[in-house]
Amino acid sequence: MEEEHSELSNVERRVRALETVMTQKGYIDPAALDVLIDTYQTKVGPRNGARVVARAWVDPAFRERLLRDATAAIAELGYSGRQGEHMIAVANAPGRHNVVVCTLCSCYPWPVLGLPPVWYKSAPYRSRVVRDPRGVLAEFGVTLPASTEIRVWDSTAEVRYLVIPERPTGTEGLSEDALAALVTRDSMIGTGLARAVGET
């Protein structure tokens, strides 16, 4: 890696010192750290959630199970575990939009969305979305009709929320995989909408 050849920053030195001492004391197995990182870099991410949403769009019985017991329905697709132990799915509909936040820290449904983006964990989003959701959505380029009701869900306990965005119009003939490709990470947090066909 590049940093091996350059001056280490203070924080890099501090992390390296911590890992060294923890290894010397036998509290960690450095190989386990590599597996953890690989898991969240390459295996667990928002494509999981996109598959859940696409399934809910094409399969009404699955959608019903998802809205009734999201933890079990999501596990049907093989996604479960840490930071997704107690899932609730909330569905957008005409006139109703849902947005998720954790004002107190960074609670986020890891098994379906992976690790949260920087903005989700940062003070501007956490402080403002509960107070001015329309203003925050505008910063994501999303403008909802004035008549649309907005619910902001503050994840204060161990329940994790997944937004089911509205299915875009004109997608009737699409396969489940093609539909999943329209489901963005932000649309499952509520700061975006699912892509229209042909939109990138």
Partner 1 sequence: MPYVSHADIGGRSGFGAVVPEPEGAVFHATWEARVLALTIALGATGRWNLDMSRSARETLPDYLDLTYYEIWLHGLEKLLIDKGLVTSDELSAGCARLAPVPVDRVLKADQVAALLAKGAPTERASVTPARFKPGQRVRTRRTPAEHHTRLPGYVRGKRGVVERVLGTHVFADSHAQGAGEDPQWLYTVVFDAAELWGSEAKPGHSVSFDAWEPYLEAA
Helices (H), 77-153: 110-113, 118-121, 123-128, 133-139
* Residue 199 in the binding site for partner 1 (CB under 8 A): no
Give the separation between CA 77 and CA 124, rounded to whole angstroms: 34
The span from the CA of 175 to the CA of 183, in Å, is 13
What residues are annotated to the active site? 102, 105-107
Contact between 12 and partner 1 by CB under 8 A: the answer reads yes
- Determine if 195 is a binding residue for partner 1 (CB under 8 A): no
Residue 39 contacts partner 1 per CB under 8 A: yes
In angstroms, the CA 100 to CA 136 distance is 12
Q: Which of 6, 11, 169, 198 binds partner 1 (CB under 8 A)?
A: 11
Return all residues near 19 (Cβ < 8 A) that are at least 6 apart. Answer: 28, 30, 33
Number of residues that bind partner 1 (CB under 8 A): 82
User: In the window 111-150, what residues touch partner 1 (CB under 8 A)?
Assistant: 114-115, 117-119, 121-128, 130-131, 133-134, 136, 139-141, 147-150
Is the Cβ of residue 38 or residue 176 nearer to partner 1 in the bound state?
38
By CB under 8 A, is residue 94 in contact with partner 1? no
16 belongs to the binding site for partner 1 (CB under 8 A): yes
Considering only 24, 61, 172, 173, the residue that binds partner 1 (CB under 8 A) is: 24
Do 139 and 89 meet the contact criterion of CB atoms below 8 Å apart?
Answer: no
Q: How far is the CB of 198 from partner 1 (least distance, A)?
A: 18
Sign of CA dihedral 186, 64, 90, 120: negative
